[in-house]
Amino acid sequence: MTIIIQVDRLLKTYGDFKAVNEISFNVQKGEIFGFLGPNGAGKTTTIKMLTTLTRPTAGKVTLDGHDPAVNPNEARHSFGIVFQDQSLDDELTAWENMEYHGMLYAVPKPLRHQRIEELLKFVELWDRKNDFVKTFSGGMKRRLEIARGLLHHPTILFLDEPTLGLDPQTRNHIWNYVCRLSKEEGMTIFFTTHYMQEAEDNADRIAIMDHGVIVAQDTVEKLMQNTQTENLEAAFLKLTGNELREENSNHTDNMRMRRRAWTGRR
Amino acid sequence: MNAIYVMWMRQLKRYLRSKARIVGSMAQPLLFLVALGFGFGPIYAKAGGGNYIQFLTPGIIGMSIMFLAIFTGVDMIWDREFGFLKETLVAPVPRSQLVFGRMLGGATVATGQGIIVLLLSMVAGFRPVSIWQLPFAVMVMFLIALLFTAFGTAIGSVMEDIHGFQLITNFLVMPMFFLSGALFPLDNLPTFVRYVAACDPLFYGVDAMRSFLIGVAHMNVGLDIAILATISFALLGIGSWLFSRIEL
């Protein structure tokens, strides 16, 4: 087995706050790796550092041989990502969102069009392909977002809470597809989720993060064994405690409100 | 090169599809042209200045291009907040291409608007000095558009939310408009004000357009264009550099 993601004492601080506190872990090529943790544990910050969106304060990351902090362009060739929050262009159609993504990732035209059709049919948006994304419901946007992330078949695929807000049928459907891709193409999957069953069913290995550090990493069976629990959810709660987490008030929320005022004015 | 095309095309589509934005950005220059042109026209003529519409039109074209170009650049903060920026930032393409495509798109849209304002002003009574000079005027429009899109993009790259927007409008955009000589000749203003105006890129833009559209200008048109081009290149560089440093 070869190591495809290597993280060594990765640190990210905002002022005095250590969002990610010297974490280390490895992911093997072709593995489906679950990255779990309560809200505000530092999962998304970690993913941002892995995907070149944020520079680490200290520590080293290697993605398929490249350091995202040193050679971001090379590193970006190795991965694809489905973000936790929306990253579609509302004022383009579903098809245009897919097409532009494929062009940015240099997927050759015939293959691109074949995959766009296949994926849009897969997420059941094919008959809405020429509609503007702003007319879509939350679930439809989510499905389109996932379809777009699967378009270019990267070496490593990051899925940051990909199935948030989707019904169980759709979640199942999507996970089957992702697992198949991973098997057929040896694609490495790195995902976060709050649905423990999803992680239990699909992950080869799991890391659990809390308060900026990794509190456990192992296979699902070992995690349950070590915590003497019956399922992953119980193991998760035992490892991270029962207290409720409050995420710092998000400045995107503030912006959403202002945008309404803004677009109303023009 | 794909990235440049994608970003360019996207800017175009977004503009053409937003009817409210098109109408809004056309209405303002027209209002200025009609209200000021017909309102101050007689006074301007009485003062011996000649035909005010002739004087005003290049200035209004410059203004409409500047406004749209800056706002298209600053529009990036919405992409930042609503995610599309992330999608482009993780794509395996150089950020310089992303930002250049975006600037080119904004500049194309703003130039298109400048051309439409020119045509509309001809309905209102404007007469260009020579048809053969029009392509040069359009070239100047594009230069102005590129300059201010780069300027807006530079601002959009460092601004994290919309709070600062009002500040930019009141302390940068409006002063640049008034000092550009778009509305009135700067000849008789205090020396101090003329020195400040000399730092205003739009001043050179409007001057170069006057030279091609009505055949009258303060300065040598070659010098105007050289100054515009230099500032454009500098701002393209600064805008790209700031964009490449964006962290989310």
Which of B6, B86, B90 is the closest to A103 by Cβ?
B6
Low-confidence ranges of chain A (pLDDT < 70): 246-266
Asked if B247 and A83 come within 8 Å (Cβ–Cβ), the reply is no
Structural domains in chain A? 3-78+154-240 (3.40.50.300)
Tens of pLDDT along A140-187? 999 999 999 999 999 999 999 988 888 888 899 899 999 998 999 899
- Chain A CB contacts of B90 under 8 Å are 51-53, 76, 79, 81
Which of A76, A252, A255 is the closest to B92 by Cβ?
A76
The shortest C-alpha distance from B134 to chain A (Å) reads 31
Tens of pLDDT along B96-132? 999 999 999 999 999 999 999 999 999 888 888 888 9
The whole-chain average pLDDT of chain A stands at 88
- At residue B131, the pLDDT reads 87
* pLDDT of residue B85 exceeding 80: yes
* pLDDT of residue B139 exceeding 90: yes
Q: Would you tell me which residues 63-82 of chain B have a C-beta closer than 8 angstroms to some C-beta of chain A?
A: 78, 81-82
Tens of pLDDT along B57-77? 999 999 999 999 998 888 888
Going by C-alpha positions, the residue among A28, A47, A55, A34 that lies closest to residue A203 is A34
Going by C-alpha positions, the residue among B241, B228, B24, B29 that lies closest to residue B142 is B228
CB pairs under 8 A between A and B: 85
- A162 in Cβ contact with A174 (< 8 Å): yes
- At residue B168, the pLDDT reads 83
A118 touches chain B (CB under 8 A): no
B87 touches chain A (CB under 8 A): yes
Give me the DSSP letters along chain B: -HHHHHHHHHHHHHHHH-HHHHHHHHHHHHHHHHHHHHHHHHHHHHTT---HHHHHHHHHHHHHHHHHHHHHHHTHHHHHHTSHHHHHHTSSS-HHHHHHHHHHHHHHHHHHHHHHHHHHHHHTT---S-GGGHHHHHHHHHHHHHHHHHHHHHHHHH--SGGGHHHHIIIIIHHHHHTTTSSS-STTS-HHHHHHHTT-HHHHHHHHHHHHHTS--SS-HHHHHHHHHHHHHHHHHHHHHHHHT---
Q: Give the pLDDT band (50/70/90) at residue B23.
A: confident
- pTM, two decimals, is 0.87
